[in-house]
Amino acid sequence: MTREQLTEIIFRILKEIAPECDPSELLPEENIREILDIDSYGFLQMLISISEETGVEIPEADYSRVFTLGGLLDYLMLRVY
């Protein structure tokens, strides 16, 4: 899976969780929850959906590594098959 494919998956899932947002305006270093005003439950749902679609489990211990778009993409790229 390419970085572009992962970005498309993330953006689609973000639109499902926060329909009023425009994920394409999200900068790689910005906090996803803060910028898109997603609560902790929404963030958890996002990570679960991403895990289901990519096959990459994101344990709670790694949540601090995936709170930005860039961090999430880097994390997934290292683990996707």
SS3 label, residue 31: strand
The contacts of residue 68 (CB under 8 Å, 6+ apart) are: 28, 29, 30, 31, 32
The C-alpha atoms of residue 9 and residue 35 are separated, in whole angstroms, by 18
The contacts of residue 11 (CB under 8 Å, 6+ apart) are: 23, 24
pTM for this model (two decimals): 0.91
pLDDT in tens, 25-73: 999 999 999 999 999 999 999 999 999 999 999 999 999 999 999 999 9
Of 23, 2, 27, the C-alpha closest to 14 is 23
CATH architecture of 3-79: Orthogonal Bundle (1.10)
pLDDT in tens, 3-22: 999 999 999 999 999 999 99
pLDDT at residue 51, rounded to an integer? 96
Q: Where are the domains of the chain?
A: 3-79
Of 63, 69, 79, 66, the C-alpha closest to 30 is 69
